[in-house]
Amino acid sequence: MKTILFVYGSVGGNTQMTVEAVAGLLDAKNWSVTLRRAELCDPAELLKADVCVLASPTYGHGLLESAMGKFVEKMKGMSLKGKPCAVIGLGDPRYEAQYHLESAVLLEKAITEAGGKLIVPALRISRTPVMHLKGLIPAWAKQLSDAIK
Ligand SMILES: Cc1cc2nc3c(=O)[nH]c(=O)nc-3n(C[C@H](O)[C@H](O)[C@H](O)COP(=O)(O)O)c2cc1C
């Protein structure tokens, strides 16, 4: 059974809701899914999983959520050599256009710099995930699950 580790940061709960929705859909396919908050997770845990998903909202003019920012700092120098990975980024178009959904870009950069392999395009959730629970989110979960098979 493949193990899938989700590591996420979330302040207001939108990223947590998104991750739980995706993970729930994958769980239903009988994969072993683990969810970890970034502040409670050591990056070494990424090495043990078959597939890693990193998720963060964008805060403070195009930055990662604070705990995920620290997690990514700790990833520096580690090797994910060829490990299948994916990214979930959240944001809001009310913030400056150049910073909109920047967390997805930063997480993809962290993974590729560590040698990880992005197996699907990032899931980008703008505004609330609630309106995507029946569309974008299950569609992306299916894309991810097809890529893992
Ligand atoms: C203080 C603050 C700064 C933010 N900065 C950005 C930003 O630079 N770019 C962006 O796309 N969204 C930005 N957002 C929107 C959040 O990324 C968005 O609300 C997200 O859904 C929050 O996720 P969370 O509920 O998991 O914390 C910001 C929100 C707040 C409250």
Ligand 1 neighbourhood includes 14 CB (under 6 angstroms): yes
Q: Which atom of ligand 1 is nearest to the CA of 128?
A: 21
Q: Which atom of ligand 1 is nearest to the CA of 62?
A: 8
pLDDT tens, position by position, for the chain (149 residues)? Answer: 899 999 999 999 999 999 999 999 997 778 899 999 999 999 999 999 999 999 999 999 999 999 999 999 999 999 999 999 999 999 999 999 999 999 999 999 999 999 999 999 999 999 999 999 999 999 999 999 999 98
Q: Which atom of ligand 1 is nearest to the CA of 12?
A: 25
Fold of 3-148: Rossmann fold (3.40.50)
Residues 6+ positions from 125 with CB-CB distance below 8 Å: 14, 18, 88, 89, 90, 91, 132, 136, 137
User: From CA 5, how far away is CA 14, in angstroms rounded?
Assistant: 18
Ligand 1 neighbourhood includes 113 CB (under 6 angstroms): no
Where do the structural domains in the chain lie, given as residue ranges?
Answer: 3-148
Q: Is the pTM for the entire model greater than 0.85?
A: yes
